[in-house]
Every structure is written in structure tokens, then in C-alpha cells.
Chains A and B, each alone.
Chain A
Amino acid sequence: MAKEKMMLMGDEAIAQGAIDAGVSGFYAYPGTPSTEIMEYAQHSKDAAALNIHRQWSANEKTAMESALGMSYCGKRAMVSMKHVGLNVAADPFVNSGVTGANGGIIVVAADDPSMHSSQDEQDSRILAKFALLPIFEPANQQEAYDMAFAGFELSEKYKTPVMLRLTTRLAHSRAGVAQKSRLSQKELKLPENKRQFVLLPGIARKQYKTLVANQAKFMEEAEKSPFNRYIDGKDKSRGIIACGLAYNYLMENYPDGCPHPVIKLCQYPVPKKMVEKLVNETKEILVLEDGQPMVEEALRGLLDRDVKVKGRITGELPRDGELNPLFVRRALGMADICGQPAPAIVAGRPPAFCVGCGHIDAYNAIKQVVTEGYGDGHVFADIGCYTLAALPPFEVVNSCVDMGASITMAKGAADAGLFPACAVIGDSTFCHSGMTGLLDCVIENANVVIFILDNSATAMTGGQDSHATGRLSEICKGLGVDEKHIRIVTPLKKNHDEMVQVIKEEIEHKGVSVIIPTRECIQTLGKKNKKGGE
């Protein structure tokens, strides 16, 4: 009897797919919308029984490199991250195209068009293209699962890492997924060429030629991929290329089938022959893709002469933001269907600190001393729950750029003569990318006050463990911060005056000061208490 389908989110389907395809290690750093891949693997009884590695890494770069080490040993590895995480991992990611893989390696990049929980909406497909790697882009949860199998296979066939790219909507949407029978894990087997992973120029040049030569083969694979389909249609006035999830929005608008020829495009590089056929047979091409207009731009070319291409660049679809059935409907030239507008009475409800959060107490003290004492403009913050202090009622923080940038921006500002120059960074973010910046500060004895908000958790992404827990002051000491200027406080209302005093003292100190307000996130604390009680 066929097994009952599992109800899985896109993220979970990828993780289950990897487990069933014989993965030996998951590597990741949390980041919406990719987090649930690792979380699923961590909660999976199968993964536990199979002794699959599934612990968080310090950041996306260390995760990518560990995955590469596992691949070096001939085993299958999956590394997952949000799109901006791929920037952090870009160095090993791009170079991994040149080293190639030994055991299969899938890099999952979860993009966030419309920036539901992100600083930008960059399209990871463009980074994979830059690295000359094949891309899989599932249209649904079943494909997400199946692509773990196909991805490892392709990766090993050509000894190349592959990207699996998805967007928020699929990552966090559930549907039934049919499981395949499980493959066993690979044996430890080192690469035949023991210099494969040595990117000295002489070796790298040779291997890069192989990667370039492989492009034609990757294209051939895409031409015959079961995930790519040419679906003919009678009405040749238009041909449609629907990438990944966009295929669903297209079909949603044509419940009885699309009258135009369609390419469902879910494996890249863009299959040239398939597209050629569509272009030859139809008058114009409409490209539906979530993210940036990568396919549209490629088709249009620089001179935009031969093929009539429509999409995000020409305004049929909005240039930015996530696709949805309505936007696709408009691009297809159909009349809007829409309910009523929300009445004016509906007020915005921005995210806010949880009641009782320690960050509130820390910011009350920071606001009193820094913002009220020296004016707005002195607080460089970072990414995490504590970024919410940019909004009312606090409006204290002046920056949030990328993980770790608070410390280094404060240093640059101190170099420029800003006094005081303060940084606010979370414990997890500090371990991700703050430590090196702190070392820069120590080397030059920069006049900065750095707040490391230690809530024993990576809270913003759902309360994962933090590498920092129990280690922060030792790390700071080890990096060379003077012990006298590492100040641990407990962010509670009753300690407000004490915190104010400590902040004043450390602003007066000419050099590097680290203040560590330490109190656990009430959400993770609540979960632990609940577990203890059950």
C-alpha cells in the first residue's frame, strides 16, 4: 500500500527529501524563510536514528565550508540559508564551483521577495549563475522533496555543487508530499584527485575550464529535466515562461488550462532549445518569475531587438515585490477580481517587543543616557529582535545593515570623530559576525561602547540556541578587551539606575567598552518552563 502523504512545508519537504536521499549532514545558520529546514532535521526521528549531522553553525560561511568538508569526504551534505546569508557564504560558495564536489552538495537559498523578514529582496539565482552552477527551483512541495534526490544526483554526476532556490511562499506553505524509498548514506571516500580542493592558481585555472565546459552539459540536463515542461497551447499570440512558483499563479488564473504555450521552468540554466521553440511559435513572450527579472533580462538581451519580451522590466508585472495570483492575472490581461478595500479604521500593527522582554529595559537605559544625553544619531544597531527599537516608542537606533555591521560602523563613526559611538548587537549576531569587528576595535583601541544583548537565544528567528551562551565575556576578554570594561548587567526595571550609571561610566572611558545586559528571552524561557511542566 502506498504510504499516506506527509503534510510538509516547502522547507520541511526539502529536509525530508535530503534525509531520504541519503544526506549525511545538514549545515545552516537560522534565517527566515530557511530556518525550518534545519529545525525539521533536528526534530526528525529518522535523522536522529541515522545519526545525521544537524547542528547550527556560527554563520552561513562556516556552514557552507563544513558542508564542503563533508562533500570532500564523499558524503552528501545540505547547507541552507536565507538569501542574504548567501552573501556571507559567497566566498566559499562561488569558489566551490571551481573546487567542485565529491559527495553531492546542495546549497539551499531561501529568498524573501517583498522582504517579509529581510533587508533586501535579492535573487539567489543570480548568484548561482555568477558561480556557473545549476539551479533547481521547485513549483510545489512535492518538487521540493524530489529535487533533493535530483539535486544530489546531478551534483555527483558532474561533481558540482547545485543550488536549490525557493521563496518565502513555498518555504512556509504546507501540502501533501509522497515519500520515496530511502537511499543509504555514502561511505567515507576521499576525492580521487587529492588536489581537487586546492585552489592554487595553476589548479584553479584548470578546474575553472572544466566548470565552463560543463555549462553545455548543465544546459542539456535542463532541456530534458522532468521539472521543466513545454506545454503546448492553441493561442500563439503569446508564449509564457513561468518560473518555479509563478507556474501556480498562472494556472490559478486558467482553471481550465492555459490557452497559450507555456514553459514551466524549474531547472536552470535556462534551456535554450525549449525557449527557442517558444519564441519561434509565438508572437511575444511573457515571463513570470518571483524575484528579480533574471530570465526576462537574459531573453531580452542588451539590444532588445528580436524577441518581444514582457514581464517585470516592461511593467506588465511590478518591478519589485512578491508575485501573487492578482499580479499575474493583470499581466495576462484579465480584469481584476478583488474584494472591498480594508476600511480606514484598520490600524497598522507593526511587530513589537514582547511584554517583559529584557531588550526593553536595556533600551530604556540606553535611551536615557545616549539619546537624551547626546541627541539622536549615536546608536548603530544590528539585526535581531532588538532592531525593533528603531520604531516607536523607542526610536533609538540609527542603523541596521547586515549582521555584525553595528560594531564596525560604530568604529568607523568613532574614527570620524563621533562621540559617543555606540553599537547594539545581539549575542547570536555577535558570534555570527561581530567578533572580528570587535578585534578591529581592540587593535586600534577605538572609542566605542558596545552593547551585546545576551538573551541566550537567536530570538528573532524563533529562539534557536546561540553559540554565545555562557561564553560572551570570555570571548571579549580573549579578543583583548580590558576586563575592567566588560560590564555585565541584568536588564530589569529595578536595575535601571545601575544600568544608567554603568553606561555613563563606559562612555567616559576612552577606549573599547563592552556592556552585556544578560537576561534570557522570555519566549524561549516560556517554552522551557512549559516543557519542564509536561
Chain B
Amino acid sequence: MSKYKIKVLCIQVIAVLALLILWEIAAETGLINSFIFSSPSKIFTTLVDLLKSGELFNHILVTFKEVFVAFFIGTIIAFVISIIMYLNKFIADILDPFLTMLNSLPKVALGPIIIIWTGANQKSIIVMALLTNIIISIITIYNGFIHTDELKIKLFNTFKATKYQILTKLVIPANLSTIVSSLKINISLTFIGVIMGEFLVSKSGIGYIILYGTQVFNLNLVITGILILVLMSYVIYKLITVLERKYITND
């Protein structure tokens, strides 16, 4: 690690520690109401309790599973639809206004309908997450596809390349970095969708912990849940970054 990186890391650690210490002191001295704002020590105890009972692991697993299922299904569907749209401009032109409309619709508004259609179970959480991630993924990937360097397409045409060759040997490889950045957006949106879904229907998962904590007014539980979410999304984000470094050669 370079000196600069160590410096950055130190300041980050110090900032977090300072925040925790200030928070703890404020809660201890009664400056803030620890019943509403919780405190680091209470969060820690809650975390340990959850860990001991083995519940925490189960909740994390449930949420992760939902995120991964929705992420994979969403990515594959978005990828396939983008390819169909790229190969068939007619279909793309037909879909265009609907995609724009659906994209700006707040997906949470569909929650109640989803529950009625799919039942109050894990299925509706996945559907919720899919609705949240799929449209923007399609738009991002398709836009990348149609903005492939004209000159390179012309080059392929001079070699009498078929549309399929242009797709597999030019358009997809040229857009790998677009696809990866769409994966990044996709994963955070999937997370949002899953938590929204868990708020609406679930009996387990981190979203459920937060909702349950609010209902019984246990703010320690709520904030612990939020912290776990932050960590989970960071882990997933890092995973994608590692993938990106490994497989994307930059120009």
C-alpha cells in the first residue's frame, strides 16, 4: 500500500471511531435520547444477542438469497431483451416509450398489486426486486449496444460480417464495461427492491428485522438491521469490482 492510501485509510478509520465515540458519549450523558437514537454499545449487545441465537445468520442468508436470485434473473432477462432489441429495431422502437414510462414509475407503488397477484410470500419479494432492477438494466445495456463505434461497425461490414457476427464479436465485447456498470446499478437497485419487498410481506430477512424493530419500537434492532444492510451492500459491491478488475481489460 502506498503512503497516500494508508493516510486515506487512517482518516476513514478515525472518522468512524470519532463518530461512534461521540454517539456513545451523547447517549450516555443524555444529550440524545438513547431510546430513540440507540447507541453503539446497545447496537453491539443487540448484534451479539442476534448472533448467539443464530437468528442473524438466517436473516442475512434469506436476504442475500433473494438479492442473488433477483439479480441473476434480472440480469439475464435484461441482457436477452437488450439483444433482441438490438437485433430488431422494429421491436426496439415499439418498446421504447413503454420502457421510459416504466422506468420513471416508482416501483413501490406496485407493491400492493404484486402481493395480490403473487401472494404474500417470497415470490412477491423477487418480483418486486425484478421490477426495480430490470427496466434500467435494459435501458443501460441497450444504449451501450446502439452506441457502439460506427466506424468499427463499418469495418465489420466491409468484411461482409453478419448481424450475428457483429453482435458477438463486436457489440458485446465492446460493451463489457457498460454491462459491468449496469451490473453495479442493478445490484444496488435489487437491494432496494428486496428490502421494499421484505417490508411488504416477509417473515424473515434484514428488511423484516428493521420492520419488526419499528413495530415493537426496538430502535436498537432497527439500527442494527440498517448497519448490517450497509455492510452487505458493500460486500456485494466489492465482489463486482473484483470481477470487473479481473475480466475487463481497459482500452
Q: Do A and B come from one complex?
A: no
Name B residues whose Cβ lies closer than 8 Å to a Cβ of A.
none
Name A residues whose Cβ lies closer than 8 Å to a Cβ of B.
none
